[in-house]
Amino acid sequence: MRKGLLAAGLAALLTSGAANAQTLNVATAGDQNMVDYIKDYLGPLFEKKHPGVKVVAVGTGPGDGGSQKIYEKLDAQKKAGAPSDFDVVVVHQKAAGTMVKEELLKKYRDQIPTGSLVTRETATNALGTDVSGYVMPMFHSQTAIAYNPDLVKNPPNSYPELREWVRKNPKQFGYNGIKGGMSGVAFVAGWVAAFGGDAAKLEKGPYDPAAKATWDKAMADLKEFNQNVVITPGNAGTLDMLNRGEIAMGPVWVDMFYTWKAEGKLPPTMRLKLVTPGMPGQPMYYAIPAKTAQEKLAAEFIALATSPDVQAEGIVKRFNWYPGIDAKNLEGKLDQAAWKQLFSDIPPETLAANGKPFPIGPYFNDILEAYERKVAN
Amino acid sequence: MARPSFFGLLLIAPALAMIGALFLYPLGYSLAAAFTDPQGGLSLVNFGKAYEFYSTDILFTLFIVITSTLLTGLVSIAIAGILTLGETPWLVAALRALYRWPLFIPFIVAAQCMRTFLAKNGLMNNTFVALGIMEPIQATSLLDWRGIIITFVWKQVPFVTLMLAGAMASIDRATIEAGRNLGASRLRVLVEIVLPQVAQTLLVGLVLSFVTMLSVLSVPLMVAGSQPTMLTVDMAFRINSYGDYATANALGVISYAIAGTVAWIYLRHSVKREVQA
């Protein structure tokens, strides 16, 4: 809060100090790399194209908590009738849904040229809330199955094939359950979507408390499946065991996988596979507060940030994230090596088809509880 | 009995206030929360949920902690025995210099080391393979319940040994020498003469170890996967993922009950001794 006030004061000072200079305040949730991305890469790029404009980046902290802080500030300013001093905000899915519901955001996507480049479901649906028009995805994180091609010649293409593979190759597949990080949670959510019946309903709602009864068979199968897998300690634990050759396959976060590979913590031969019907991932969103004074500038900033060039160079090449816009728009923008790295294992069409959102909030909790009750205990 | 003086009470007031504010209040609060249902009434619904979700983990926790305590006791007796009765000076000196080291290593660091040491292709197995003791195909990962027990024992043995060796050093050497002169082996002297005299200290050390191991979060979290796992991991998960303090508190009460049972055994034992004395 104090930091926010300070930033606001600083911004006011800068605006009044140089009458013709404009300041664009960007508030971002997430880790320090998010702030660095805007401060060191995107900000200077935007300033070059808009002389006289200064981009100020403020970080509000990692995880949903960081997004919550942005929400609280916008909410307080709305109640006080004051204009918001953030011009662009970068938030997670849960907070974006709340902000749209409480009319804290501006509908801007159709007014920017890159608005039509987005194809993924998550641009319109944030964990069950309709956010179409209010947000542009900055990037997507995705989960996928990592495998060691020395041990697995023909990796499974789908959840049913994976189940069959594990039956034939006991203790060669590892995941971290649901208490050791999100890659295991994503695997379980994908399992329920694959075997539990109505997958579309999990993603879009409406919520039906009786739906969890239909997962009994899927959960019983998962319990049986677990007899033949290794439960690893955490997201990094799965990667560790892959690295040491103790397991041949396991679900991982794609950006983490590539970063480890680049740092030499995984053999360069390791590959990824995004199995059907799909595994979950999550985006972060660019949005514009409803009451900003810099509406036009903010829209231009987001248009630049979601342009194919910036998505290719900044999001994909520098940070190993998947682009927020449809990946096929990036073809030709990346040098061959970077393109090969991100898309050789999971081509853009597969990503668009099999990259799923997490289930809506209430289903998500039901899945985790059903897992604890029926599978883990 | 003398009446408590006003100044005496005043003197202990800060300590009492501290215990009240930092221990009794949170304890009472978590007990109350564990027995409260979402509507605010008194109920056992949280315990029902804890049992439904985590009955395996409760048994697993008991198994791990009891096994670790017994092994810690055995290893500590062996080391303290060698320190007291050993007749090979260099061995005693080396052991005396080495055994305390793990005391200064935090649980989380120990867990991190074990993670690479005990893995299937970790340092330990690789060493055995390189020495020709083991074929690579025989290597198995110890990063499951065995890893947790190994880490706990490794970490708690120095603590118990420290107490035990101190107690053994202060008993009357004449009793040991009498036994040796009459031809008893060192093992027999240890079991029949030394141990009975230090049993009280051993019990204290083991009870403290038991309670410590019951409360460690980092080791089960880092060394083993989450199925099954110890209650501390489940409590952290309920709070971090759901903000579900009620079930976490119910699990906490189950932990108190386990620790309380051990404390009761210890208290009963020491009261009996006091009555005898």
Which sequence spans correspond to the domains of chain A?
A: 2-140+283-348, 142-281+356-376
CATH topology of domain A2-140+283-348: D-Maltodextrin-Binding Protein; domain 2 (3.40.190)
Ordered by start, the domain boundaries in chain B are 43-276
Q: Does A233 touch chain B (CB under 8 A)?
A: yes
> Would A2-140+283-348 and A142-281+356-376 be classified into the same CATH topology?
yes
Q: Which band of pLDDT confidence, cut at 50, 70 and 90, is reported for residue A66?
A: confident
CATH class of B43-276: mainly alpha
Q: Are strands A136-147 and A271-273 parallel, antiparallel or unpaired?
A: antiparallel
Identity of the residue in B53, B221, B222 whose CB atom sits nearest the CB atom of A373: B53
Q: What is the mean pLDDT of residues A161-178?
A: 93
- Chain A residue nearest residue B111, CA to CA: A233
The reported pTM is: 0.75
pLDDT of residue B277: 66
Please choose, from the candidates B256, B250, B258, the residue with its C-alpha nearest in 3D space to the C-alpha of residue B54. B250
Highest CATH level, class, for A142-281+356-376: alpha beta
Of B115, B121, B226, the CB nearest to A179: B226
Residues of A in contact with B57 (CB under 8 A): 377
Q: Which residue has the higher pLDDT, A267 or A120?
A: A267
8 Å CB contact between A233 and B225? yes
pLDDT beneath 70: ranges in chain B: 1-4, 241, 243, 277
Question: pLDDT, tens digit, for every residue of B92-149?
Answer: 999 988 998 999 999 999 999 998 898 888 889 889 988 888 887 778 888 889 999 9
**Contact: A177, B225; criterion CB under 8 Å:** yes
* A136-146 mean pLDDT: 92
pLDDT at A15 over 50: no
Burial class of residue A342 (count of CB atoms within 10 Å of its CB; 0-12, 13-18, 19+): buried
pLDDT band at A200 (very low <50, low <70, confident <90, very high): confident
Chain B interface, best mutation among A148, A364, A372, by max B CB count within 10 A: A372
ipTM: 0.73
Q: Which one of B222, B223, B229 has the shortest CB-CB distance to A179?
A: B229
**Cα distance between residue A25 and residue A27, in whole Å:** 6
H-state helical runs in A178-277: 182-195, 199-204, 216-226, 235-243, 254-262
Q: Where are any strands of DSSP class E within B4-118?
A: none
d(CA A140, CA A282): 6
- How far is it, in rounded angstroms, from Cα B57 to Cα B80? 34
CA distance linking residue A232 with residue A184, whole number of Å:
9
Q: Tell me how close the Cα of A290 comes to any Cα of chain B, in angstroms.
A: 31
Chosen for mutation from B59, B226, B230 (greatest number of chain A CBs closer than 10 Å) is: B226
Assess whether pLDDT exceeds 90 at residue A249. yes
